[in-house]
Chain A
Amino acid sequence: MPPVANTIVSILFDGLAWAMFLFIISVGLSVTMGLMGVVNLAHGAFAMAGGYLVITATASWGVPFLPSLLIAFVAVGLVSVLLERSLYSQLYGASELDQVLLTIGLTFMVIAVYTYFYGPQPQSIHVPSYLLGELHLGDRSFPTYRVFLIAVGAALVAALWYGFEGTKIGAMIRAAVDNRRMAQSVGINVDRLFTITFAVGSGLAALGGGLAIQLLGLTPSFAVIYLVFFLLVVAVGGSGSIWGTLAGALVLGISDTAGKYLFADAGSFVIYAVAVLILLVRPAGLYGRE
Chain B
Amino acid sequence: MDASRPLAPAAGRDESGAARTRALSFLARRDRYHVAEALPWIAALAAFFIFPNQMILGGQTLIMILFALSLDLILGYAGIVTLGHAAYFGLGAYAAALLITDLHWSEPISGLACAAVVAAIGGFFSGLILLRYRGLALLVLTLSTTIMLQQLGNLFRDFTGGYDGIPGINISPLFGRFDYDLYGHTYYLYCLGVLFIAFYVVRRIVYSPFGQALVGIRENVARMHALGSPVHWRLVIAYTISAAFAGIAGALFAQTNTLVTLGVFDFDQSAAVLMMLILGGAGWLYGGFVGATLYMVLQNELAKMSPEFWQFGIGAILIAVVLANRHRVFGKLVRRVRALGFGAKP
Residues of A in contact with B (beta carbons under 8 Å apart)? 33, 39, 87, 90, 94, 96-98, 100-102, 104-113, 115-116, 224, 228, 231-232, 234-235, 239, 265-266, 268-269, 272-273, 275-276, 279-280, 283-285
B217 → A minimal CB distance (Å): 15
Contacts of B141 in A (CB 8 A): 276, 279
B319 touches A276 (CB 8 A): no
CA distance A290 to B277 in the complex (A): 32
B315 touches A105 (CB 8 A): yes
A100 touches B81 (CB 8 A): yes
* Binary per-residue interface labels of chain B (121-159) against chain A in the complex, 1 for a CB within 8 Å, 0 otherwise: 000000001001101110111011101100110010000
Q: Which of A97, A108, A235, A268 touches B312 (beta carbons < 8 Å)? A: A108
CA distance A105 to B323 in the complex (A): 11
B309 touches A112 (CB 8 A): yes
291-311 of chain B: CB within 8 A of chain A: 306-311
Given contacts A97-B81, A102-B322, 4 further A-B contacts (CB under 8 A): A232-B140, A273-B148, A280-B129, A283-B137
- The verdict on B191 contacting chain A, using a C-beta distance below 8 Å, is no
226-252 of chain B: CB within 8 A of chain A: none
Size bracket of the B interface? 35 or more
A284 touches B311 (CB 8 A): no
Counting chain A CB atoms within 10 Å of each CB, which of B141, B152, B310 scores highest?
Answer: B141
319-338 of chain B: CB within 8 A of chain A: 319, 321-323, 325-326
Residues of B in contact with A (beta carbons under 8 Å apart)? 75, 81, 83, 129, 132-133, 135-137, 139-141, 143-145, 147-148, 151-152, 155, 267-268, 271, 274-275, 278, 306-312, 314-319, 321-323, 325-326
A239 → B minimal CB distance (Å): 6
A111 touches B311 (CB 8 A): yes
Counting chain B CB atoms within 10 Å of each CB, which of A39, A104, A265 scores highest?
Answer: A104
Contacts of B135 in A (CB 8 A): 96
A272 touches B147 (CB 8 A): yes
Contacts of A104 in B (CB 8 A): 271, 274-275, 315, 318
Given contacts A235-B137, A276-B141, contact A105 B318 (CB under 8 A): yes
Given contacts A112-B309, A112-B311, A283-B133, contact A105 B140 (CB under 8 A): no
CA distance A109 to B151 in the complex (A): 28
Contacts of B308 in A (CB 8 A): 112-113, 115-116
CA distance A231 to B321 in the complex (A): 25
Closest to B267 in A: A224
Interface contacts (Cβ under 8 Å), in number, total 117
Closest to B151 in A: A269
Closest to A232 in B: B140
Contacts of B129 in A (CB 8 A): 280
CA distance A239 to B137 in the complex (A): 10
Counting chain B CB atoms within 10 Å of each CB, which of A105, A224, A269 scores highest?
Answer: A105
- What are the nearest 6 A-B pairs in CB distance? A105-B318, A108-B315, A109-B315, A112-B312, A112-B311, A105-B319
CA distance A284 to B133 in the complex (A): 9
Contacts of B268 in A (CB 8 A): 224
Q: Which of A39, A108, A275 touches B318 (beta carbons < 8 Å)? A: A108
B103 → A minimal CB distance (Å): 26
Q: Which of A101, A108, A272 touches B278 (beta carbons < 8 Å)? A: A101
A106 touches B319 (CB 8 A): yes
B230 → A minimal CB distance (Å): 21
CA distance A101 to B132 in the complex (A): 23
A115 touches B311 (CB 8 A): yes
B81 touches A275 (CB 8 A): no
Q: Which of A107, A224, A235, A266 touches B315 (beta carbons < 8 Å)? A: A107
CA distance A111 to B313 in the complex (A): 11
Contacts of A239 in B (CB 8 A): 136
Contacts of B145 in A (CB 8 A): 276
B140 touches A279 (CB 8 A): yes
B159 → A minimal CB distance (Å): 13
Contacts of B75 in A (CB 8 A): 97
Closest to B306 in A: A116
Closest to B268 in A: A224
A82 → B minimal CB distance (Å): 15
Closest to B320 in A: A105
CA distance A90 to B323 in the complex (A): 8
